[in-house]
Amino acid sequence: MDADCFIKLTEQYRAGRRTLRDVAHRLDLSLSDTLEMFQRLGITGNTGADDTLASFRSTSKPTGRM
């Protein structure tokens, strides 16, 4: 993906025209990685509870221990 497309996606996300899930899919990143990237860039999100929970779920991995 070129820089212009990335900037456009970022601007659309910031404006609320794209969801975190859509941007993550287009960037081929996990929800949590996309959210972290936006946080590092200082972009406050338009994430809803569903996106936030899905992001947390994608980072928690079972250890296999009981």
Does 63 reside within a domain?
no
Does 27 reside within a domain?
yes
Domain count, the chain: 1
Which residues lie below 8 Å from residue 19, measured CB to CB, with a gap of 6+? Answer: 13, 46, 48, 51
Does 64 reside within a domain?
no
Q: From first to last of its 66 residues, what are the pLDDT tens digits of the chain?
A: 789 999 999 999 988 899 999 999 999 999 889 989 999 999 876 666 676 677 667 666 665 655
* φ and ψ of 23, to 5 deg: -65, -45
Whole-prediction pTM: 0.65
Does 60 reside within a domain?
no
* pLDDT confidence of residue 1: 75
Rounded Cα distance, 47 and 49, in Å:
7
